[in-house]
């Protein structure tokens, strides 16, 4: 009970609500409420952060008696970064720039296999223009040429976004006027965001049609062309999702709403980690299967299957994180 009372008194002395303390500690408001009602106690890492936030010693927090606070030097306090209107505007402009390049990079990754598919299918024509080995060689070279600018775009976005990495890793507060400015931009962008998402969904829903049509033809080259059309439709749909989604997410991050509300931050980190591992594994599987079997015309099935399984994996992640919160 003593620790709970100390946390409550220190929070109130600083003029913070439970929500504000939770945000600074990167925990849920319910966690702070449980600390202050002595239902649970913060772990050692959180105790250290509490001592730095309040500027008191850990001994003071851990002593089983109420006494005068034992303050540490001001240099030990954890500074909470504040985002000014100019910084917020710079960040939103940067994310708009990043959105276009990330969406272009993802589009290139999706369509990179198209030349390989077409060259491979061309070898099945009655009078093939190239040999099978040459087709695979040209297709692989083309694939790498297309992927190279995609990698460059991803890297450039990462370097340009580095100054604002603290928004994901550290507690921050917005200065007066930032929320109003961001909400105004959000209202102005809402219609574009909705149109991009609706169009992207429609394209993704329609994208299997060429693939289904190709499954009824015995002409392998035509089937490959229709598969290429499917990939193009998916690529364009994903581009729309990313372009609109990155800009919308940047506004939510500054406002700490939606997926970027405090209670959802841990869920986002888990989803991002699982997603990175998942798609890296899918890529390794695709390349290993393709090189070992040399069946480039068949191994493309990895991607639609991976897409379906990814949705299931994300649902399981959400269930896990939601259960963990409870």
Stretch 133-150: mean pLDDT: 88
User: How far is Cα 307 from Cα 151, in angstroms, rounded to an integer?
Assistant: 21
28 pLDDT exceeds 90?
no
Stretch 63-74: mean pLDDT: 53
DSSP, res 73: -
- Mean pLDDT, the chain, rounded, equals 81
The Cβ of residue 303 has, within 10 Å, a number of other Cβ atoms equal to 16
Stretch 216-225: mean pLDDT: 85
pLDDT of residue 56: 78
Stretch 44-63: mean pLDDT: 79
What are 155-180's pLDDT values in tens digits?
A: 999 999 999 988 877 777 788 888 89
196 pLDDT exceeds 50?
yes
**Higher model confidence: residue 52 or residue 237?**
237
Strand partners, 173: 82
Stretch 188-214: mean pLDDT: 90
The domain over range 2-65 is classified in CATH as 1.10.1740.10: no
User: How far is Cα 52 from Cα 20, in angstroms, rounded to an integer?
Assistant: 15
- Alpha-carbon torsion (40, 46, 51, 53), positive or negative: negative
């Amino acid at each position: 009970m003593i620790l709970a009372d100390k946390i409550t008194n220190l929070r109130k002395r600083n003029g913070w609500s439970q929500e504000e303390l939770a945000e600074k500690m990167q925990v849920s408001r319910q966690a702070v409420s449980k600390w202050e009602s002595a239902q649970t106690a913060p772990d050692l890492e959180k105790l250290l952060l509490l001592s730095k936030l309040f500027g008191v010693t850990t001994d003071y927090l851990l002593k089983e008696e109420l006494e005068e606070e034992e303050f540490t030097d001001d240099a030990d306090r954890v500074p909470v970064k504040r985002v000014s209107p100019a910084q917020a505007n710079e960040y939103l402009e940067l994310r708009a720039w990043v959105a276009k390049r990330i969406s272009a990079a993802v589009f290139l990754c999706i369509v990179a296999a198209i030349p390989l598919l077409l060259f491979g299918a061309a070898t099945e024509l009655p009078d093939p223009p190239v040999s099978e080995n040459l087709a695979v060689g040209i297709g692989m070279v083309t694939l790498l040429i297309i992927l190279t600018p995609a990698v460059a775009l991803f890297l450039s976005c990462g370097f340009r976004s580095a100054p604002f990495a603290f928004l994901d890793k550290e507690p921050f507060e917005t200065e007066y006027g930032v929320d109003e400015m961001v909400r105004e931009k959000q209202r102005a962008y809402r219609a574009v965001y909705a149109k991009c998402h609706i169009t992207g969904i429609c394209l993704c829903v329609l994208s299997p049609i060429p693939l289904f049509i190709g499954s009824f033809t015995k002409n392998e080259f035509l089937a490959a062309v229709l598969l290429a059309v499917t990939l193009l439709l998916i690529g364009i749909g994903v581009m729309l999702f990313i372009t609109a989604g990155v800009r919308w997410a940047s506004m939510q991050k500054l406002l700490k709403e939606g997926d970027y509300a405090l209670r959802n931050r841990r869920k986002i980190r888990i989803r991002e980690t699982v997603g990175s591992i998942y798609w890296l594994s899918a890529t390794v599987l695709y390349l290993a299967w393709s090189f070992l079997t040399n069946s480039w015309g068949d191994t493309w099935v990895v991607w639609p299957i991976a897409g379906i399984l990814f949705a299931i994996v994300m649902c399981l992640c959400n269930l896990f994180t939601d259960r963990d919160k409870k």
